Amino acid sequence: MIILNRPEKILAGLLAGAVTAILTVFIVLSFFNYPSADDFCIAASARDLGFFKALVFWYAHWSGRYTLHSVWTLILTPQDIFQIYRITPIVLLVLTWLSFSFLIARITQGRLSTGFSLLLGGVGAVLFIAGIPDVAQTFYWMGGSITYQLANILLLFLLGLLVWRETTAKDHWLQTLIFWLASFLAAAIIGANEVSLSLTLVILGCGTFYTLRARKDSRLFWIGLLVIASGVAIISLLAPGNIQRQASIDSAHDSMLRPGPWLAAVLYLPWVALRILYWLSNLGLWVSAFILLVTTFNIAKTRLYVQGTFRKGFLIFPAIWISLIFALSAIGFLINRYPLPERAESVVYLLFLLGWYPSFIILGHFLVRDRIQCDGRRLILPAAALLLINLAGTPNVFEAYKDMYRGYRYSQEMQKRLDTIQAAKNQGVTDMVVASLSHPPRTLFATDIATDPHNFRNECTRAYYQFKSIRLGDTVSPY
């Protein structure tokens, strides 16, 4: 158990206050949130077809993302989706914090108190929020959040269970419970999106290979998980809707200016390298990794060294980590000749964040070795102070703070639009024109309908409100 001195306790309290304040800002913004685009298509299908028929329809005609369709349809089944829509990002934000906390608690194996695990989980959640390319698509737009962020959360819980099984879960009944919980989480993650599907299969495949090679008693556990994950992956990938969806994407791309295959291949490596450098520009990652390097010095000496010599076999971990980042990023270039959508990049960033800390420790010991000093604890206090400043000053956090006012204005404009739509329905209007939005908040706003009534987003909104057509009109005054 870590014992803090008085200055460290004060700084930990300030850090807890900062993390709480930051997460509170993002939670408050949830009350200004409104559905858009695909949300209305799912809500319309749930209303018109019912829950189970809607799932069959989307599996057959859109994609094999059965987890996405199940959760999305369940949430949007009520006639009035606007109130429940604001609860979803709150739940996802809280679960992001709790999932990081759970993983940290399992990794530390009881060395940290529950309160300290929750604090570090909050730091992890804020670092995650600070690095995602688009906060709106990751948390506030349900089309992106249920597809990718829910899968991210479930992956963190799954990793926590896997660590628990390999460390302190010795009771047979507990091991059995962990297996079935892990199986459920793996199946749910795989049914959410293809990027998380690929990442989950790689993690389970690596775990299975390691336990078989090391002849660990958990090898049957890993084999069973991998078999179940592979089975549900086949169900997801062979969905008839995948073919139709890809055809619609290809058709849409025919009218888009996009690079040719060779140019896309040339742009791929610089894109991923620049994205990694962008993530590494966050000082908080370096400071938090340094703190971890110092505090785990004695533990690392017992794990990473044999008779005082560094075990170079551990270098395979950072090698696999970097390779997997490039491999997942390649999915977008292979399918669309474009980078992954920003909401999908949240999965890649989560992989980066999770692999960053063990890779930093491994490479730190490999490069510095005996020059790492146990007494580096005296540097923890200023490092933690620097981390506190960094967390509060990241661009995404600052943008969220600015959007507190923009979010209020956005909410007022959206409510006015809803009132206008309801009045038009009462009057029997069939071709609807609504006002554009003025300076929508970047933290909340993902997309809106277009001036073209045949746009996919317009068609979804039209289907939900049961108009003949709906389109965007003039911009409202920003004053």
| DSSP character string of 289-310 | HHHHHHHTHHHHHHHSEETTEE
pLDDT digit string (tens) for 352-367? 999 999 999 999 888 8
pLDDT at 22: 96
Contact by Cβ (8 Å): 349, 272: no
pLDDT digit string (tens) for 169-227? 889 999 999 999 999 999 999 999 999 999 999 999 999 999 999 999 999 999 999 99
> Quick one: pLDDT band at residue 344, thresholds 50, 70, 90?
very high
Structure tokens, 64: 């094999």
Reported pTM? 0.93
- Residue 16 pLDDT > 50: yes
**In the predicted model, what is the mean pLDDT of residues 287-293?**
92
Region class of 96: left (phi > 0), else alpha (psi between -120 and 50), else beta: alpha
C-alpha to C-alpha distance for 335 and 415, rounded to whole angstroms: 38
Contact by Cβ (8 Å): 251, 68: no
- Residue 392 pLDDT > 70: yes
Residue 12: CB atoms within 10 A of its CB come to: 18
**In the predicted model, what is the mean pLDDT of residues 293-305?**
85
pLDDT digit string (tens) for 52-98? 888 888 888 888 899 988 998 888 776 678 878 889 999 999 999 99
Tokens 């609807």 sit on residue: 432
pLDDT at 159: 98
Structure tokens, 332: 């977008």
Which of 264-273, 331-340, 380-389 is least confident? Answer: 331-340
Give Cα separations from 288 to 107, 123, 384 (angstroms).
16, 9, 8
Question: What does residue 342 show for φ and ψ, rounded to 5 degrees?
Answer: -60, -35
Per cent of the chain over pLDDT 70 is 93
Q: Domain-by-domain residue ranges, the chain?
A: 258-392, 404-475
pLDDT digit string (tens) for 415-448? 999 899 989 988 888 899 988 888 889 999 988 8
pLDDT at 478: 38
Angle at 161 between CA 203 and CA 65, to 5 degrees: 55
